[in-house]
Amino acid sequence: MRLSSLKRPAAAAAIVTVLAVMITAARAQSPTGPFANPTARKADQPVLLAEQLAARRGDIVVARIDGQPILVADLIRALPTLPMDIQYAPAPQAFARALDVLIERHLLITAAVAAGTPDDPEVARLRSLAEQQIVTETYLQREVARRINFQVMRDRYEAFLRAHPYAELVHARHIETATREQAEAALSALRAGADFGALADRVSIDHVQPHGDLGLFSRDDVEPAIADAAFALAPGHYSDEPVKGRTGYHILLVESRRTSRRIPFEEGSGSLPLDMAQEAETDVLTELRREARIERFAIDGTPEPDPQSQPAFVPIPAIPRYVDILSLAH
């Protein structure tokens, strides 16, 4: 029930570029909106590092090493090369970690130059390989940014909301067991007064969510049997018999029910910018494959047909989850 992580480094770099495009366009269209400056955000909307840096002048000095400055512009240029957990962490923590990365890179390159490492033949070979990767990923980033802008993302977002204007949501917990007998034993323990969360931690085969917490979800987010059972329960009640799912038997406890409402694109586009960047990357690779004459050979050199009419990377469809893009009305 959760979105998958990104599949390729190139996609990550392209998405950073798309994010910067979106922020710049949002400021131009709404100077007083949520992207006008980081402090205009709601308390529950973390400011990303890219947004924080985009709001600052590039010539601001953020560190000095032996008198040599590191500027905001240096951090912006380094963004696509930073780990994803830094790029998408809340800005205050991400800024400190990103700056540490740049400082360490500076120290290492200074030491390497002093040791004569750049003149090593092996370095020259690796430099050539790195240059190829940089060139290809830069081309891909620019193609993705050319195809996706603020208005394109807004149009897709609005189309999604027109098709799915509202959603009923439940916040539920579950206990999942391998057999019906184990689920019935868990039900007996609950009827005897056992705490649901503690019992889930002890006997559930799903160890991903602490205390069996599934969070908020709509009917479309889960398999039909789970949805039917969860949405039939009143808050504070658990299922009176095991629910057969694809991977086991479930006891469900509904904590609360809510109704979602539409919110402006600027306040929360969910996973859509990331999904559309991945979709655009796939389109670029598909077009290049279509225009080229590709011949493939087996490992013994014999010809074989190209099995792919699509590129190896296939993204998640660009359909955001309800909970990602819809605000919750209590």
Strand positions, DSSP E, 59-145: 61-65, 68-71
* pLDDT given for residue 267 in this prediction: 59
Per the model's pLDDT, the better-predicted residue between 189 and 53 turns out to be 189
Looking at CATH, the fold of the domain delimited by 166-261 is given as Chitinase A; domain 3 (3.10.50)
Backbone angles phi, psi at 256, to 5 degrees: -160, 165
Question: For the chain, first and last CA: distance in Å?
Answer: 22
More confident residue, 240 or 298: 240
Check: CB of residue 174 under 8 Å from CB of residue 190: no
pLDDT, mean of residues 4-11: 42
pLDDT digit string, tens, across residues 47-84: 677 777 878 888 899 999 999 999 988 988 888 788 87
pLDDT band at 294 (very low <50, low <70, confident <90, very high): confident
Whether the per-residue pLDDT at 281 is higher than 80: the answer is yes
Query: What is the pLDDT averaged over residues 102-129?
Result: 91
Confidence class for position 271, pLDDT limits 50, 70, 90: low
* Statement: residue 189 has pLDDT above 60: yes
- pLDDT for the residue 263: 66
pLDDT band, residue 29 (cuts 50/70/90) = very low
The count of other CB atoms within 10 Å of the CB of residue 57 is 8
Neighbours of 207 (CB within 10 A): 10
Residues of the chain with CATH 3.10.50.40: 166-261
SS3 for 68? strand
Q: What per-residue confidence (pLDDT) applies to 325?
A: 40
pLDDT confidence tier of residue 182, bands split at 50, 70 and 90: very high
Residue 108 has pLDDT above 60, yes or no: yes
DSSP H/E element including 253: strand 249-261
Predicted confidence at residue 324, as pLDDT, reads 41
